Amino acid sequence: MSKRFQLDEIDLQILKMLRKDGRLPYTAIAKELDLAEATVRKRVSRLMEEGVLHVVGVVNPAYIGRAVTAIVGVHTEGQEVEAILSKLQEWDEVRYAAVCAGTYDLMLEIAVESNEELFHFLTKRLRAIPGVVGSDTSLVMKVVKDRFSQVGGEHVSHDS
């Protein structure tokens, strides 16, 4: 679901700067954009209140012992999708989960410590969830782009 939010050029510039460094002080943004710090603070607050901007720390899974990343397409049956998603949200290994139209009902990104743990996740845990009838897995060999959002035009769109 996409919610349109009207962004002006200043909003876009602020978002671009915060994408590069989410900890950037308002004073630095204000100086770079030739604005008052209070203006930047109000705009960032508005962007956060409207749900356009979320500032979070992103942990590289390899640095916490999860060197194996996989993309998993999940086939489901019946009306179990919400219950399946509820279960998946509880698991730390699941970094991303989305309901899809097309080949798969759900797409997951998971990060685990080893191929053995991936095997266990797929064959024991995922298959044990009622409503999961199958899955296809692709092992991520190298990440060449990892962006949480792209800033451009009049809206913010999410891509991974």
pLDDT recorded at residue 12? 94
3-class secondary structure, 32: helix
* pLDDT exceeds cutoff 60 at 160: no
The average confidence (pLDDT) of the chain is 87
Judged against a pLDDT cut of 80, whether residue 26 lies above it is answered with yes
Q: What is residue 66's predicted lDDT score, i.e. its pLDDT?
A: 82
Q: Which fold has domain 61-139?
A: Alpha-Beta Plaits (3.30.70)
Query: Hey, what are 80's tokens?
Result: 């179990």
- Provide the H-helix boundaries in the chain: 9-20, 26-33, 37-49, 81-89, 115-120
Domain with CATH 1.10.10.10 in the chain: 9-57
Helix, strand, coil percent content, the chain, rounded in steps of 5: 35, 20, 40
**Residue limits of CATH 3.30.70.920 in the chain:** 61-139
Place of tokens 């009049």: 154
Total-model pTM: 0.68
For residue 100, is pLDDT > 70? yes
**pLDDT tens-place string over residues 48-87:** 999 899 887 777 777 777 889 999 999 999 888 999 999 9
Q: Which fold has domain 9-57?
A: Arc Repressor Mutant, subunit A (1.10.10)
**Amino acid identity, position 54:** H
- Predicted confidence at residue 138, as pLDDT, reads 97
- Predicted confidence band at 118 (pLDDT cuts at 50, 70, 90)? very high
Q: Who wins on pLDDT, 121 or 5?
A: 121
Rounded CA separation 79/98 (Å): 16
Given a cut of 50, is residue 159 above it in pLDDT? no
